[in-house]
Amino acid sequence: MTDTPLIITCPVVGAELTREVYPSLPITPEEIAEAARGAVEAGASIIHLHVRDEQGKPSQRTDVFETVTKKIRDRCDCILQYSTGGAVGTPLEERCGPVKLKPDMATLSMGSMNFGPDIYENTEHTIRTIAGVIQENGVMPELEVFDYGMMETVARFRRKGLLPEKYHLDFVLGVPGGMTGDIRNLILLKDRLDPGQTWTVAGVGRYQLPLSTHAIAMGGHVRVGIEDNIYYRKGEPATSNAQLIERVARIAQEFGRAVADVEAARKILSM
């Protein structure tokens, strides 16, 4: 067991969910900022950010990211991590746009995959382009790994010098089309890491609780929030991002791991 404090990342809204599926989904800049505030109060130090346009549709518009960022910054201190994934099918240029606002972090998905019924396209060109924009803007990347082959892509990109020295890794497990959240998959991925490499696990749906608990015990970090988990337990919708985070924080405390505040999180990630 490690005594490194646990970094909790909260993906407060995501791109795929709708109000039809999750009625209290935060959509307006005000609602997203309030959700972020609640998440930080509950123990999150990183906010993984997607935004929505005036119609509630997923958007990579820079002006909306700017508005939401300001509203979050007015409310709380956190590490802001912009999504460059956007929604399935978002054009590459739009995906890159908000990174010019120089958030603390930005995501970088490491390969293409089936994403439920769709294709989440991350060709070699896409990854190189986003990685380039992230580096040009001096932003810290979080590499999103949905499948084992993407770890090989991480290694290849490193060999070619296409990634900065410092990055954080996020294993996103349980997307239909990627690796499931079977604990053996987490162990396989974790075993592939260099010593000292920081990592988080995001368990989609029913995988969230077992994966969070194992990551806490294994010295990793946890992502939990409505983008990945709309249920608190089987048949019981989560009431908020904060509710999901509070449970993870309680488990961490039982394991003797403190929950990292923003300052601690920055230190752990060498930011």
The smaller minimum CB distance to ligand KMH, of residues 15 and 36, is found at 15
The smaller minimum CB distance to ligand KMH, of residues 61 and 219, is found at 61
| Residue of 69, 121, 130 lying closest to 94 (CA atoms) | 130
Q: Residue 83 interacts with Zn ion (CB under 5 A)?
A: yes
Rounded distance, CA 142 to CA 231, Å? 25
Nearest distance, CB of residue 89 and ligand KMH, angstroms: 9
Task: Name the residue whose CB lies closest to ligand KMH.
Answer: 85
C-alpha pair distances (Å), 53 with each of 31, 49, 92, 123, 128:
13, 13, 18, 26, 27
In the beta sheet, which residues pair with residue 264? none
Task: Choose the one of ligand KMH, Zn ion, none that binds residue 144, judging by a C-beta under 5 to 8 angstroms depending on kind.
Answer: ligand KMH
Task: Say how many CA atoms lie within 13 Å of 156 toward its Cβ.
Answer: 10
Nearest distance, CB of residue 87 and ligand KMH, angstroms: 5
Residues that bind ligand KMH (CB under 6 A): 15-16, 83-85, 87-88, 107, 109, 115, 120, 144
Task: Choose the one of Zn ion, ligand KMH, none that binds residue 121, judging by a C-beta under 5 to 8 angstroms depending on kind.
Answer: none
The smaller minimum CB distance to ligand KMH, of residues 45 and 213, is found at 45
| Stretch in the footprint of Zn ion (CB under 5 A) among 78-86, 152-160, 209-217, 234-242 | 78-86
Rounded distance, CA 242 to CA 270, Å? 26
The smaller minimum CB distance to ligand KMH, of residues 130 and 186, is found at 130
Classified as helix, coil or strand, 103 is coil
- Reading the block at residue 262, the tokens are 């923003």
Q: Residue 200 interacts with Zn ion (CB under 5 A)?
A: no
Nearest distance, CB of residue 224 and ligand KMH, angstroms: 14
Classified as helix, coil or strand, 249 is helix
The smaller minimum CB distance to ligand KMH, of residues 228 and 248, is found at 228
Q: Where are the beta strands (DSSP E) in 42-132?
A: 46-49, 51-52, 58-59, 79-82, 105-109, 113-115, 118-120
Task: Choose the one of Zn ion, ligand KMH, none that binds residue 120, judging by a C-beta under 5 to 8 angstroms depending on kind.
Answer: ligand KMH
